[in-house]
Amino acid sequence: MDSTNTQTGSTLFELLERPQNSQAWSQFVARYGPRIFQWCKGRGLQDADADDVTQEVLGKFAKVAGKFKYDPAKTGFRAWLRTVTKHALCDLANDFQRAPVSGDPRTGILKTAADMEDLERNLNDELQRELLQRAMGIVKQRVEPQTWKAFELLVEGRSGKEVAEQLELSVAAVYMAKSRVQRMLAAEVRGREQRP
């Protein structure tokens, strides 16, 4: 279980807190750009075209996100992200339709609602990983090292008996540790989804 960069915060939360911060934008692009690029490649685009679409989606997202106000009292963070992404993708699709270039493979990539929803889902999955990664860093600091180790070993696929022997705990204590960490992680993720 890797908790890399959990101390600096998630890239989206950093971006919301400091929208003018170029380092936050760089982290955002580094985190989400490859997801968009791979999605485009999966739609049959060549590297150069996939890179162009990735840059356009990220650029549209930057413009929309800069104007879109997140209010945690009205909506959860994932719903906000979904809305901003949908607006960015719709803008991009409209741009492609307004100025089509004959033979440009990008013109049809975002035409259907299913394509937009698929990319939204990919970005949402990345956000979930980011939220979990952040939560893991926080929870790991809150629990005893042995509790975290029991959780980690069970998640890696070790048997309760193996973990119990290795950590010199009862099998019941190992599973209680895992359950406790899972509850804490779920609460942390839920809390982070509700606030930037």
Domain assignment of residue 190, yes or no: yes
Residues 110 and 183 in one domain: no
Q: Strand, helix or coil at 106?
A: helix
Of 37, 34, 85, 33, the residue nearest 63 (C-alpha): 85
Q: Which of 130, 156, 173 is the last residue of a domain?
A: 130
User: Are residue 119 and residue 151 in the same domain, yes or no?
Assistant: no
Examine residue 16 and state whether it is found in any structural domain, yes or no: yes
> Which of 85, 109, 130 is at the close of a domain?
130
Domain, as residue range, for 122: 7-130
- Domain assignment present for 136: no
Q: What is the mean pLDDT of the chain?
A: 76
Structure tokens at 92: 């991009």
Q: Is residue 138 part of a domain?
A: no
The answer to whether position 87 is within a domain reads yes
Is residue 165 over pLDDT 70?
yes
- In whole angstroms, give the CA distance from residue 138 to residue 7: 8
pLDDT at 36 over 70: yes
Number of domains present in the structure of the chain: 2
Q: Outline where the chain has alpha helix (H).
A: 11-17, 22-42, 47-67, 77-98, 113-142, 145-155, 160-167, 171-193
Which of 78, 100, 130 terminates a domain? The answer is 130
CA separation for the pair 92, 107 (Å, rounded): 10
Give yes or no: residues 156 and 92 share one domain: no
What is the distance in angstroms between the CA of the first residue and the CA of the last residue of the chain?
24
User: Percentage of the chain with pLDDT > 70?
Assistant: 61
Same domain, 38 and 108: yes
CA distance 186 to 69: 26
Q: Summarize pLDDT for 181-195 with one digit per residue, the tens.
A: 999 999 988 777 665
